[in-house]
Amino acid sequence: MKFLRRTARYLGIAVLAAIVGLNIWQMAARALLGQELPGLFGYSSLAVMSGSMEPAISAGDLLIIRREATYQEGEVVSFSDNGSYITHRLVGQTDGGFITQGDSNNVPDPDLIHAEQILGRVVLVIPGLGGALLFLRTPAGILLTGLFVFAAVFLAGPAGRLWERLTGSRR
């Protein structure tokens, strides 16, 4: 039981550190390298802000996207449109570009998009995690996460041993 608890604690710390690390990487790459949508190994993440793709994708979901060489009708892609990121389905293609439409929208988007605007195809949807990651990018989120990581590491180390000595119990 002690092994499982310790393993779960370290696994939780590792997952949190990975999430924080990826957020720091994205913020730094945006600020220092000028990348529009920073990513690792061809994958990037986006938080969904609207319900135009419901029920498949909802506001607050986290999307993992991957840049592809070509895109096909029926795929869900994220693209840049005047500084905004939009995620819609490719419903057609003309000589002028792609026709896109949100699943819950009644009509296609008014403007065609070009292949250069496409940031990537959606490969994974993680429900609800987008809102949490957006919070982590705010000053309050960064502070809270830093305090949580510090407390988790501190409590797993010296404070945990001190507690064991004071109480005579083993975790």
d(CA 86, CA 70): 18
Query: DSSP letter at 116?
Result: G
- Catalytically active residues, by annotation: 52, 88, 109
Domain that holds residue 143: 2-155
Do residues 89 and 76 make contact, with C-beta atoms less than 8 angstroms apart?
Answer: yes
CATH number at residue 117: 2.10.109.10
Q: Which residues of the chain have pLDDT under 70?
A: 1, 16, 19-20, 22-23, 27, 29-30, 33-36, 38, 152, 155-163, 169-171
- What residue type is assigned to position 31 of the chain? A
pLDDT at 163: 66
pLDDT at 112: 93
Q: Give residue 35's region: left, alpha or beta (phi > 0; psi -120 to 50).
A: beta
pLDDT at 102: 94
Residue at 168 is within a domain: no
pLDDT tens readout for residues 69-81: 999 999 999 998 8
Residue at 96 is within a domain: yes
Q: For the chain, what is the domain count?
A: 1
d(CA 74, CA 65): 15
Residue 47's nearest CA partner among 116, 160, 117, 128 is: 128
Residue at 164 is within a domain: no
Taking CA atoms, 36 is separated from 32, 51, 79, 84, in Å, by 11, 23, 11, 11
Residue at 162 is within a domain: no
Q: Kindly give, in sequence order, each residue whose CB lies less than 8 Å from that of residue 120, ignoring residues fewer than 6 positions away.
A: 43, 44, 65, 66, 67, 68, 77, 78
Q: Locate 158 and state its tokens.
A: 């010296």
Query: DSSP letter at 149?
Result: H
pLDDT at 75: 95
